[in-house]
Structure 1
Amino acid sequence: MFISVVIPTYNRLPILLKCLKALEVQRVSSQIQGYEIVVVDDGSSDGTYSWLEKNCELFPHVVLIKQNHGGPGLGRNNGVQQSRGDVIIFIDSDLVVTETFIESHITSLRKAWRRRGDKLCFTYGAVINTANFDSPISEPHKLTDLSWAYFATGNVAIEKTILEESGLFDPAFKLYGWEDLELGERLRQMGVELIKCPNAVGYHWHPAFSINQIPSLKQVERERAKMAIIFYRKHPTLRVRFIIQFTLFHRILWESLTLGGLINDVTIRPLLKFLIRINRPGLAMQVLRVPLNLVGVREIFREATLNGLH
């Protein structure tokens, strides 16, 4: 069995190098004939492609692909289409994995295939969030690392023919968010089972929260809202409305918790600065999530009105 690890990347060269170094030292058994690391540069402007091209001897497993900036979904599609693997593993370019990462995914997949009698399943590995750039894998597992998402492509493995049968990722998702969960809805409709694989551990690095990140975080919420409407148009179900928070319940919830928007990133800024000052940036981010959720929900309802949805 040959494995392809597909990684779309955009302007993340420093952490991408840690990601690739971890993948180059994988310990695999005889059940795996070999593996490749398919890196799809999504039009980066930080020199990612040229650096990897010039230093290709450092990463013998890497297959490098370049595309114009079109988003991670398009990048994953290109990676899959040019891959040689029987199994596709998707990870993000800011994920640093353990030495048994690939082996753990494949062991769990093969066990599920035997149990089911078919290959209609995928494995979902553990994702541990960390702000420790120097030593990402030293981060302990936290309650906030738990996820209930179905087919979140930060750390999943699936048989290639099943993925191709699903139709791959919809390139209409050009901005941030939802392209993987939308594919997940199609996989769910095919009867594809989610198999938890906690031994396939990846450490998701992102810089510690700081005040100057607030504008970009609000922009992400606006982009997610636009993509959420595309998601809902394709799957106009109550389930998807709850996933994207396009319900009256979510509108009332976040309006109430923020007192109609009185609690916002400006009014809570002194609290956020205090939490950062006492070295609690993670808690500051959790506090900020409340008004950010309101931004996102309001934007979804605005986009729905513009698109004639109710």
Structure 2
Amino acid sequence: MIDVSIIIPTYNKKRHLRLSLYALEKQTFDHSRFEVIVIDDGSTDGTWRRLRKYKPPYPFRYIRNIKNTGRAASRNKGIQLARGRVLIFLDAEILVEEDFIQKHWSYHEKEDMAVVSGVFGRFHGLYSILHPSFNRWQFKHCYPIVRKMPLIRKRFRSSVGLSRYLKRRKKPLQLVGRRSIDNHRYTRAAFSKSYYLEHLVSRYGPELRGFHFPWISFLSGNVSVKKESFDTVGLFDESFKGYGFEDWELGYRYFLNGYKFIAGENIVSYHQEHPVNPNTRSREHKTNHLRFFEKHRDYGIAMLVLYEIGLKNYVEINQALDEYYRLRDDFPDKYMTYKASFHRFCERLAQRKAIDDHFSEYDVAFESDHSDLKRLGRYPQLVSVMELQDRKRLPM
């Protein structure tokens, strides 16, 4: 009987995927009780040659899309094929420890309506493979981490020397192999990647209580839910193309349906770093964020732009939204101009448009409301957010 299905979409990541699949061979969870489904979304790097004859000790299915259909469509195909009661979504470049499946499974044994985020646990970056197409920042960042490894220490004295070698070589340099996974030496090429995640868990607890955006923990690189939940919540929205937000949007629907979000603090995973095109990602990210906002019209979704552009952290945004809801409840028939201005501000954030003016016909009323609320001192973060309107152009 299959209890757990691991769904892995992949696109041109054959080297990383090979390591990720090998790590799953080391699982302590009974191999007959879980399956791995890889959906190859039109890879052109020869992924199919590596996987068509792959025979791991667990049930394995390899599905190849002739054309690239996108992350959402690939994951939906995996959901439809899955036989497990619990589905774990895993990215092709995520390498996990031996107790990974067992820990995800344990959470779902205790909770009927759980969304378990592995990325909100102990999440690390890993330079398992060095690529010639790494950008300058990646080379600068990786060198102090990997220089202690014998292959690097003996040959390269600086990140410049390493990058020049790889560019001349024109193919990746693999630092982590099966033996490194067997003896856990791959951790020498790892670094903490928890960012804001640990801070949120320490403030709001592993269930993110009091946090208006628990759905940001639905990161499809490492998250699990019960299969039956899709009957209520629905599948990934395939209208999201390119990078970003198809997972948060689904997480938001879980939130609307009353599911409990749990940060799997004891789940350890490693993201194998790979080349990225920040310009392409940025364009896709903005387009998909606007699609997300327009689908649900939740001003909290728009306010997350303030984190992305570095003006507010998640705690401050959460507090500002708390204060807006409190203002709305405290004064249902007052400060109407201020509330309308807040709505417009959020609309323009979602659209990534400059905050270049107020409602011109309401300027006097807005300033009066703003001064009044500032004197009250009960809504400091909301006041601070609304003062951003006076910055004629935000860094969108």
Normalising by structure 2, we get a TM-score of 0.56
Counterpart among 53, 59, 62 of residue 60 in structure 2: 62
Q: What SS does the corresponding residue of 2:265 show, helix, strand or coil? A: strand
The aligned counterpart of 1:202 is 269
Deviations 1:142-196 (A, max 9, x none): 5537376231111111110013321110000121100000001100000011112
For residues 17 and 132 of structure 1, do their structure 2 counterparts lie closer, same or farther at Cα, with a shift above 3 Å needed?
Answer: closer
Q: Deviations over 1:92-141 (max 9, x none)?
A: 10000001100011112212x2xxxxx11121113212224334544254
Task: Give the structure with the larger strand fraction.
Answer: 1
Q: Matches of 1:199 and 1:233 in 2, distance apart?
A: 36
In the TM superposition, 1:78-157 aligns within 5 A as 78-111=77-110, 113=111, 119-125=112-118, 126=121, 127-133=123-129, 134-135=175-176, 136-138=186-188, 139-141=190-192, 143-144=194-195, 146=197, 149-157=216-224
Distance 2:18 2:237 in 1: 28
1:241 aligns with 2:302: yes
In structure 2, the partner of 1:229 is: 290
- Aligned-partner SS, 2:27: coil
2:244 is aligned, of 174, 177, 184, to 177
Which residue identity does 1:51 align to in structure 2? R
Q: 1:234 to 1:14 in 2, by over 3 A?
A: same
1:73 corresponds to: 72
> Any idea what SS the aligned residue of 1:96 has?
strand
Deviations 1:33-84 (A, max 9, x none): 610001000111111123200x322465321112221111111100010111
2:289–2:350: 8 Å Cα contact kept in structure 1? no
Q: What is the aligned length?
A: 243
Change beyond 3 A, Cα 1:184–1:28: same
* 1:198 Cα deviation from its structure 2 partner: 2.1
The change in CA–CA distance for 1:51 and 1:83 in structure 2 (over 3 A counts) is same
Deviations 1:289-308 (A, max 9, x none): xxxxxxxx9995259xxxxx
- Matched to 1:121, the amino acid is A
Whether contact under 8 Å (2:34, 2:58) holds in the other structure is no
Change (3 A) 1:217 1:59: farther
Give aligned-pair identity as a percent.
Answer: 30
Could you say what secondary structure the match of 1:191 adopts?
Answer: coil
SS in structure 2 opposite 1:144? coil
User: Residue in 1 aligned with 2:12?
Assistant: 11
Distance, in Å, in 1 between the alignment partners of 2:234 and 2:113 is 15
Q: Distance in 1 between matches of 2:220 and 2:81?
A: 18
1:43–1:142: structure 2 CA closer, same or farther, 3 Å change rule? closer
Residues in 2 aligned to 1:6 and 1:168: alpha-carbon distance in whole angstroms: 14
Residue 123 of structure 1 aligns to which amino acid in structure 2? V
Amino acid in the other structure paired with 1:6:
I
- Structure 1: how far apart are the matches of 2:308 and 2:50? 45
User: Residue by residue, what CA displacement relative to the aligned partner does 1:266-294 show, whole Å, maximum 9, x if unpaired?
Assistant: xxxxxxxxxxxxxxxxxxxxxxxxxxxxx
Moved more, 9-18 or 135-144: 135-144
User: Partner residue of 1:294?
Assistant: none
In 1, are the aligned partners of 2:27 and 2:99 still within 8 Å (CA)? yes
Q: Quick check: which has more Rg, 1 or 2?
A: 2
Give the secondary structure class of the aligned counterpart of 1:168: coil
Match of 2:235 among 154, 162, 168: 168
What SS does the corresponding residue of 1:198 show, helix, strand or coil?
A: coil
Which residue is equivalent to 2:279? 218
Cα distance change, pair 17–170 in 1 and its aligned pair in 2 (3 A)? same
Unpaired runs of at least 5, structure 1: 114-118, 255-296, 304-310
Check if 1:159 corresponds to 2:226. yes
